[in-house]
Structures are given as C-alpha cells and as structure tokens.
Structure 1
Amino acid sequence: MLKRLLAGWLGLAAMVVCSLAGAEPAHYKIVTGPERGTYIQIGQDLSKWVAQPVGIDLEVLASKGSAENVQRMRFEPGVKLALVQSDVYQAFIDMANAGNADAGTMIRPLRLIMPLYDEEINVVVRADSPMKTLADIKDKTISVGLLGSGTAQSATTLYRLMFGQPIPEQNIQHLSNEDALAALIVKKVDVAIIVVGQPAKLFNDMNPDLLQQLRLLRADPNAPETARAKQTYFPTTIRQSSYPGWLKEDVPGLTVKAFLVTYDYGLRDTVSNLDHFADSLCANFDNLQEHGHPKWKQVKLELPTLVRGWKYYGPVEKHLRACMTNRSAALSPTAAQAQAAPKPRALCTDQERLLLLCK
C-alpha cells in the first residue's frame, strides 16, 4: 500500500514533467558565487536536475557572493533565484529594522524557498604560522573576502563576536579567495578567511606543493571566543576525507547556513513556473542527493520555523509542504500524522559597505 501511494505521487509528478516537456522553456537566472566555490555547483545541479525537467532554462551566474546576490535578485532582469548565506540575510533585516531604507528596499520583498546546507568558515594561515586556533587571529592582517561577498560578512561578524570589536581598518584586505591564498603564501596577509562548502574545488584543484604551505586553524570548543562566535555560527568538523591531499586529520570549525531565495512574485506565469520548480525539486530530490554535489546529502527536504522577519514564498511553500506530506504519508503514515506543521513565525558604516548599501 505504501509503495503504491508513493509510486502514485511520483507518477503524478512525472506527468507534470512530461506535460511541460514540449512547452516553450522559461528563461530564468540564478545567482550563485565564485567560479570555484560550492554555490555555483549547487546552482548547476538545480538547473540540470530540477529546472530542466519542467521546461525552465535556468542560467547559472557566478558572483562575488551573498550580498551581491541580494542586489541582483532584486534588480537584475531575469534573476528569479539566488543563494544567500543566513548571516547576510539577517544582516539586511537588522539594517532595515534599524531604519536603513535601502536595506529595507532590498530585503523585504525577498522570500525563502528552503534552507540548504551548512558552509564551513575556513580560517587559513601559513603552515609555519605560530597561530593554532581562531582566537589567535586578533590584530592580524586578514583577507575577509570581496565587498559584496558572504565571506566578507561572515569574516567581519565572526571577528566582532569573538573579540567584541571590529577588525582594525588597517588590517583588512578585500581579496578574492584565490588572491587571498596567494597573498597568504607570499606573506602579504596573515590570515585568509574563506567560506565555502566542503569539499571545495578551490582547495582540491590547488597545486599540491602550494597547498602544503597552508594550514587551517581550529575552533577550540573550550575557548570563550568560540563560545561568543556560537551566538551566530554553529560548530562543525572540516573532514580530512574532504581534502585527503591536504589535511592530516579532522579540524573543528564553524559553519553558516545557505538558503535558496526568490522574490515575492505575483505574476501568474512566474508563480506557475516556480510552482513547477517546487514540484520538480521534491520529485527529483533523490537525484540531487545521488548525483549532485556532496553537500546535497546534508540537505533535508523540510521547511523549519523561521526567525522573525524571514518569510517563505507562499506558493512554493504550499507545494513543498504538500509534497513533503505525501512523501511522509507514503513512507510512514503514523509519523506523518504525528508531525505538526511548523507555525509561521548619512555616513557609510562598515556594515553598509559590506552589504553594498553605500550610495
């Protein structure tokens, strides 16, 4: 009975896919992250395994990262989806609530589709550096990532949480991930902070001899700096198996959550296409986990309760919840009955510069 129920639901999803196969494709864009980061691979997976089966031609665009993605999601024609870090999304909301009109214009019409996975905050130093843990980066010269990147937001927020003060202006370098690692090797910076999901092509594609000149700092679970950082970020492990040619052992670290984001669209065709995207996301979720980037194995098909100021996109939320209910009922009807639906719940500052809100 359960197998028939699940097969029936998947069959219905397949009929939707087939009915759309002959239609003229919608041409949409998704903004992701740097060329050798994880976000762009996640975007490529969504294009291949989710958008394409329902007649959506989803172009995957590289970007500096999350803050730029929020801007492009709002204002660039054709961009219907974006990948955004949770701390960047929250920073826009905080700025809007504090009275910044530009931040409000940016973030208030945006809606979440679903949470994805955790991205590791890699704090990299030279192999011969005396630094051992995250607490040792105080007063060092740090590459925090490009302006407009999620890495820049995470790096500066992490430092402020750990030490109760911003990074001194003279100690900040805004370099791309690749340039930051090169600057680290030639001793132009002391620390490079890089936010990317493991395993990252950035490290695995790097020249092995150069990679051996670098090392990751540990997040000491007993340090007060780590405890303060966990107000926003979460403990994790950067696994040796992710970088077998580099790491000799697992390294304790911190993470930030990635979200798939859209806009509060009301046009009928766009709503319909995003509904089909949601149905396909659910129907092809197993394909994403089997064939996509390894990070998909960490993604759960669920819509957790959101913090205040965050909202799901209503039409897609309705489709995803219906799909999740059908999957749960097919696999475990008693568990599905027991599971309650989540309740909805003048000068430029450094923060404004990071979020690209300066005029």
Structure 2
Amino acid sequence: MLKRLVGGWLGLALMVVSSLACAEPAHYKIVTGPERGTYIQIGQDLSKWVAQPAGIDLEVVASKGSAENVQRMRFEPGVKLALVQSDVYQAYIDMANAGNADAGTAIRPLRLIMPLYDEEINVVVRADSPLKTFADIKDKSISVGLIGSGTAQSATTLYHLMFGQAIPEQNVQHLSNEDALAALIVKKVDVAIIVVGQPAKLFNDMNPELLQQIRLLKVDQAAPETARAKQTYFPATIRATSYPNWLKEDVPTLTVKAFLVTYDYGLRDTVGNLNHFADSLCANFDNLQEHGHPKWKQVKLELPTLVRGWKYYSPVEKHLRACLANKSAAINATAAQAAPKPRPTCSDQERLLLLCK
C-alpha cells in the first residue's frame, strides 16, 4: 500500500520532471541577496535541485535584498521568483492599505509560493564595546544595511518597535554587510545590524583576527524593549556551532521569516512551468534538505494560514497541497502498517485443543 501511494505519486512527478529535461528549458531569474548572504545560496539550491529537473534554466541574481527584490519581481523582465522577508512584505501591504499607490502597485499582484526559514537578526558591536543587549543600542551610530535591503527594513522596524521612535538621522549609515563590519572595526559606527540565516558565509569567511574584534549583542528577554519587538519578531538562537571560530556560546536573538515569492501569472506557459517547478520542489525536497544550505533542514513543506492581505499563488498552491495530501496519506499508511494487529479471540474449545497462538 505504502509503496503504491508513494511510488505512484512520486513516480508520476518524476516522470513529468524527467520528460521536461529533454525539452527546451524556460529561462527565468530568481532575485536573492548579497553575494555572501544566505539568500543567494538558497537560490542556487533551488536552481540546481528544483528548477533544473523541472526543465527551467533558473539564473540566480544577487541583489541588495528584500525591498529591491519586490521591485524587481514586479517590474523586471524574466524575474519569476524572489526571496522576501516577511516584515518587508508586510510593510508594503501596510503602506498600500494606508493609500500609497506605488506600494499597492508593487505588492498587490505578488503571491507567495511557500514560507522558507527564519533569518536571524545579528546585532554586532566591537569586542571592547560596553553595550550588552539589544536595548543598549538607543542613540548609538548604527549601520542598518543598504537602502532596498531587507536588513534595512528589519533594523529600522526593530528600533522603532523597541524605542518608539525612528533612528535619529545623524546616527544612520546605509552600508553593505561587509562595509558595515569594516566600519565597526575602525570605530566609524557603534553597531552593525545584519539579517542573515545561519551559518552565514559573511562571518565564516572573515579573517579570524578580524572576527575576534567583533561580538554579538544578546536579547534580554525580560526587557520591555524586547516585549515590544516581539510584536513583529520572534525569539531565536544564534548557535555557537554555526560559527565555531567565533562564538564560545549560543546567543539569544530575534528572527524574521523568509518567503519564496512569485507574481500572479496567467499566461499558460508560465503557469505550466511554475506548476512543474512546484512538482519538482515536492519531489526533490529531500535533496534540498540533504544537499542544500543547512537552513533547508529548518524548512517544512507546508502552507500555513496566511495573515490578511497575503495570498498564495493559486496554481502552485493546488499542486503543493496535492503533494502534501499524498505525503500525509503515505505517513498514515506507514503508521497503519506499523500498528500491532489485534489478536483473534479464541473459543474455550480452541484453547483446550491448543489451537490458540
């Protein structure tokens, strides 16, 4: 039964995927993030393990981050997929609902494919800094990330939530992640806020001597600033095992969700290709978790209920829900096979003749 359920569905999906390999591939782009960030590695995994088997030549494009990705997803030819942070997506929706026509034009036609993983908020200071927790960054000079990046949105939203005000203009610098760390070390800024999924190449590729000149601030769970930040962000931990050459212990922090996003396409060929992408995503999900970036191990193949204003891309949603239903049936079949079978009831005569086992 299990083999028929799993083999039947996966066999059909893989037949479709393998047949596409012989066809002329569609040429699409996915916009991700900085070269040494996590988004670009996630995009590379999707290109190799999902798009290629689905007959799609998916070009992985670096970007400043989420806000730029929303704009490019909406307006740049060839961009069919994007990686976007949840707080950036929600900020666009909020601005659209408040009457900003440009925000509405950008966000309303966009659709979600699925949630991915949590990205940790790294609040970095110099090793000799007197600052201890997130609550200590008020009125300090801060690099919040490049304009157009998800980091910039997260950093400014986080500060506003914690302190009830915007970062003073004279205290803000919009630097790339690499430049922010360099500025931090030479004391041009007090704090660098970097949103990236662990383990990040940004930190693991750093010169060990430079790495020892910086450290991470912790979230104080008892602080009122933290309680206010949790209106949008969620508790998380940056693990010492993610950065063995840097961290001596785990660091409590906050996190933001990453989503895979597309457009509300109606053209038959595009719809068909994205449906094949969805089938391949389901069929090759184990490969992503086994061979892709470690963050894939935190991704669940599921479609949770969305908050108001957020919508899944309907054609892909149908394919993924069919996949989830088949996987659920397979799990139930496995449980049924593993369950002990009830012993047959014996009559008194069968017991006397030793016919009961």
Does residue 324 of the first structure (1) align with residue 324 of the second (2)? yes
AA partner of residue 86 (structure 2): S
Q: Any idea what the Cα deviations from partners look like across 1:52-84, whole Å, max 9, x if unmatched?
A: 001100000000000000000011110000000
Secondary structure of the equivalent of 1:290? helix
Specify the code of the residue in structure 2 equivalent to 1:95. M
Q: Partners in 1 of 2:14 and 2:135 — Cα distance? A: 52
User: In the alignment, which residue of structure 2 is the partner of 1:225?
Assistant: 225
Q: What is the DSSP-based 3-state SS (H/G/I as helix, E as strand, rest coil) of the residue aligned with 1:42?
A: helix
1:4 deviates by: 2.8
SS in 2 for 1:45: helix
Residues 133 and 217 in structure 1, CA contact (< 8 A), matched pair in contact too: yes
Letter in 2 for 1:61: V
Partner of 1:341: none
Give the structure 1 partner of residue 114 of structure 2: 114
CA RMSD of aligned residues (A): 1.1
Shift in Å, 1:171: 0.2
Shift of 1:335: 8.9
Distance 2:13 2:49 in 1: 14
Report the 3-state secondary structure (helix = DSSP H, G, I; strand = E; otherwise coil) of the residue aligned with 2:246: coil
- 8 Å contact 1:328–1:335 — kept in the other structure? no
Residue 14 of structure 1: how far off its partner (Å): 1.1
For 2:330, give the aligned amino acid: A
Amino acid of the structure 1 residue aligned with 2:191: V
Does the CA contact (< 8 Å) of 2:86 and 2:256 recur in 1?
A: yes
* Structure 1 residues 241-252: aligned runs within 5 Å: 241-252=241-252
Does the 8 Å CA contact 1:162/1:225 hold for their aligned counterparts?
yes
1:261-272 equivalence runs, <5 A: 261-272=261-272
In the alignment, does 2:169 pair up with 1:181?
no
- 1:297-312 correspondence runs (5 A): 297-312=297-312
How far the C-alpha of 1:3 sits from its partner, in A, is: 2.9
Q: Which runs of 4+ in 1 moved over 3 A?
A: 333-336
Structure 2 Cα separation of the partners of residues 226 and 306 of structure 1: 25
Check the 8 A contact 1:70/1:106 in 2, yes or no.
Answer: yes
Q: Which residue matches 2:287?
A: 287
Residue type of the partner of 2:112?
L
Q: Which runs of 5+ in 2 are unaligned?
A: 337-357
Which residue is 1:191 aligned to?
191
SS in 2 for 1:95: helix
- TM-score, normalisation: structure 2: 0.93
> Partner of 1:356 in structure 2?
none
- Is the contact made by 1:33 and 1:62 (CA closer than 8 Å) also made in structure 2? yes
Aligned residues: 336
Look up the SS of the partner of 2:24 in the other structure: coil
Query: In the alignment, is the contact (CA less than 8 A) between 1:117 and 1:299 conserved in 2?
Result: yes
Measured after TM superposition, the shift of residue 333 of structure 1 is 4.9
Are 1:70 and 2:55 an aligned pair? no
- Asked if the contact 1:118/1:255 (under 8 Å) is kept, the reply is yes
Looking at structure 1, the residues matched to 54 and 188 of structure 2 have their Cα atoms a distance apart, in angstroms, of: 49
C-alpha distance after superposition, 1:281-303 (max 9, x if no partner): 00000000000000000000000
CA contact (8 A) 2:144 2:151 kept: yes
Residues in 2 aligned to 1:331 and 1:16: alpha-carbon distance in whole angstroms: 23
Matched residues in 1 for 2:312 and 2:334: separation? 27
Q: Do residues 235 (structure 1) and 235 (structure 2) align?
A: yes
Query: Structure 2 CA distance, aligned partners of 1:230 and 1:335?
Result: 38
- In the alignment, the residues of structure 2 paired with residue 143 and residue 21 of structure 1 have an alpha-carbon distance, to the nearest angstrom, of 45
Residue of structure 2 in register with 1:169 after alignment:
169
Q: Structure 1, unaligned stretches of length 5 or more?
A: 337-359
- Alignment CA distance shift 1:334-1:5 (3 Å): closer
Larger Rg: 2
Look up the match of 1:37: 37
The Cα offsets for residues 169-205 of structure 1, whole Å up to 9 and x where unpaired, read as 0000000000000000000000000000000000000
Q: Report whether the alignment pairs 1:97 with 2:97.
A: yes
* Rounded Cα–Cα distance in structure 2 between residues aligned with 1:68 and 1:122: 21
Is contact 1:6–1:331 with CA below 8 Å preserved after alignment?
A: no
Separation in structure 2 between the aligned mates of residue 103 and residue 148 of structure 1, nearest angstrom = 13
For 1:4 and 1:57, how far apart are their aligned partners in 2?
A: 32
Q: Is the 8 A contact 2:278 2:319 kept in 1?
A: yes
Greater Cα shift, 263-272 or 12-21? 12-21
Structure 1 match to 2:278:
278
* Identical pairs, percent: 89
